[in-house]
A and B are shown apart, each in its own frame.
Chain A
Amino acid sequence: MLQYVRINYFRSRNVYIDGALSGKTNVILRVDEGTHIFDLGPNLNYSPASIKKKVTGTSALRPIEINFELADAG
Chain B
Amino acid sequence: MKLLTVVILAVFLGACGSFPKNAKLNQFDANAGYRFDKLDTGAKNTDSLFVIVVMSGGGTRAAALSYGVLDALRETTITWQGEQKTLLDEVDIISSVSGGSFTAAYFALHREAIFDGAFEHEFLKHDVQKDLFHQLFVPGNWFKLFGLSYGRSDLAAEYYNTHLFNGATYQDLIDNKQRPFLIVNATDMTLGSQFPFIQDQFDLLCSDLAHLPLARSVASSSAFPGLLTPLTYENYAGKCDFKDYPWVELAQSNRRENADRTIRADQRSPITSHCRRARATMCIW
Q: Which of B246, B253, B254, B258 meets A18, CB within 8 Å?
A: B246
**B137 contacts the other chain (CB 8 A):** no
Task: For the complex formed, measure the closest distance between the CB of A7 and the CB atoms of chain B, giving whole angstroms.
Answer: 16
B200: nearest residue on chain A (CB-CB)? Answer: A20
Contact B37 A18, beta carbon cutoff 8 Å: no
Contact B254 A20, beta carbon cutoff 8 Å: no
**A35 contacts the other chain (CB 8 A):** yes
| CA gap between A20 and B247 in the complex, in Å | 9
Task: For the complex formed, measure the closest distance between the CB of A22 and the CB atoms of chain B, giving whole angstroms.
Answer: 9
Q: Which of A19, A21, A34, A56 meets B251, CB within 8 Å?
A: A34
**B9 contacts the other chain (CB 8 A):** no
For the complex, count residues of A whose C-beta is within 8 A of B: 14
Q: Write out the residue numbers on chain A whose beta carbons fall within 8 Å of the beta carbon of B247.
A: 17-20, 32, 34, 36
Instruction: Give chain A's interface secondary structure class.
Output: strand
**A65 contacts the other chain (CB 8 A):** no
| CA gap between A19 and B250 in the complex, in Å | 12
Residues 7 to 23 of chain A near chain B (Cβ within 8 Å): 17-21
Q: Which of A19, A21, A33 meets B246, CB within 8 Å?
A: A19
A33-B250 in contact given A19-B245, A20-B245, A21-B37 (Cβ < 8 Å): no
| CA gap between A20 and B260 in the complex, in Å | 19
Q: What sequence of 0s and 1s flags, for each residue 22-60 of chain B, a beta carbon within 8 Å of any chain A beta carbon?
A: 000000001000000100000000000000000000000
**A54 contacts the other chain (CB 8 A):** yes
Contact B257 A35, beta carbon cutoff 8 Å: yes
Q: Write out the residue numbers on chain A whose beta carbons fall within 8 Å of the beta carbon of B30.
A: 19
For the complex, count residues of B whose C-beta is within 8 A of A: 13
Contact A54 B257, beta carbon cutoff 8 Å: yes
Residues 212 to 226 of chain B near chain A (Cβ within 8 Å): none
| CA gap between A34 and B261 in the complex, in Å | 8
Task: For the complex formed, measure the closest distance between the CB of A11 and the CB atoms of chain B, giving whole angstroms.
Answer: 20
| CA gap between A36 and B37 in the complex, in Å | 19
**A70 contacts the other chain (CB 8 A):** no
A37: nearest residue on chain B (CB-CB)? Answer: B246
| CA gap between A20 and B246 in the complex, in Å | 9
Contact B257 A34, beta carbon cutoff 8 Å: yes
Q: Write out the residue numbers on chain B whose beta carbons fall within 8 Å of the beta carbon of A32.
A: 247, 258, 260-261
Task: For the complex formed, measure the closest distance between the CB of A40 and the CB atoms of chain B, giving whole angstroms.
Answer: 15
Contact B257 A37, beta carbon cutoff 8 Å: no
Task: For the complex formed, measure the closest distance between the CB of A39 and the CB atoms of chain B, giving whole angstroms.
Answer: 10
A-B contact pairs, 6 of them (CB 8 A): A19-B246, A20-B247, A34-B250, A34-B254, A35-B257, A36-B247
* A interface residue numbers (CB < 8 A to B): 1, 17-21, 32-37, 54, 56
Nearest 3 A/B pairs, CB to CB: A18-B247, A34-B258, A34-B257
Beyond the given pairs A19-B246, A36-B247, 20 more chain A to chain B contacts, judged by CB atoms under 8 angstroms and listed by A's residue number, are A18-B245, A18-B246, A18-B247, A19-B30, A19-B247, A20-B245, A21-B37, A32-B260, A32-B261, A33-B257, A34-B247, A34-B250, A34-B258, A34-B261, A35-B250, A35-B254, A37-B246, A37-B250, A54-B257, A56-B257
